[in-house]
Amino acid sequence: MTIKVGDRVPDGTLTEFIETETEGCQLGPNAFQVADLVKGKKIALFAVPGAFTPTCSAKHLPGFVAKADALRAKGIDEVWCVSVNDAFVMGAWGREQQTGSKVRMLADGAAAWTRALGLELDLTQRGMGVRSQRYSAIIDDGVVKTLNVEAPGKFEVSDADTLLSQA
């Protein structure tokens, strides 16, 4: 079953590559519980089929990096990029795209959370395995307020400008 507006996001574990060690977060991959991350926060979330892929790298992620401050000005606490990749790949992609503190690069390595959302995409025939559909959402205290799922192969409704207009 696919998640929809009004639903609470399922709990799950996402990992993030931490560049600078801080109290509670060591250098390297750190695991976080989604329920803890969304509690009391308004999240602008977008998901992509894969890090370093053409549309994701040229349009999707750069759009959210560029609009992160505008999203925060509308009450968004954090901007997340989620992909079915490992934390090392997401960390490298974030460095390459200069996401800094604008976008959290969160990995769903085994697609467990993506499957729980019902937003997986089977790209096995293309040699990529199970990935995420391309989508964006606003999650407010764990509840989906908006959800924009792309048709296969499209990039029309999950962009930063669309989500900014919905914030």
Q: Is 81 a catalytic residue?
A: no
In the structure encoding, which two tokens stand for residue 118, read together? 């019902």
Q: Is 163 exposed, middle or buried (0-12, 13-18, 19+ CB in 10 A)?
A: buried
Helices and strands per DSSP (H, E), number in the chain: 6, 9
User: Do 44 and 167 form a contact (C-beta atoms < 8 A)?
Assistant: yes
Catalytic member of 56, 79, 160, 164: 56
Q: Quote helix, strand, coil % in the chain, to nearest 5.
A: 30, 30, 35
In the structure encoding, which two tokens stand for residue 149, read together? 């799922």
CA–CA separation, 109 and 104 (whole Å) = 15
User: Do 63 and 79 form a contact (C-beta atoms < 8 A)?
Assistant: no
Helix (H, G, I), strand (E, B) or coil at 53: coil
Active site residues: 56
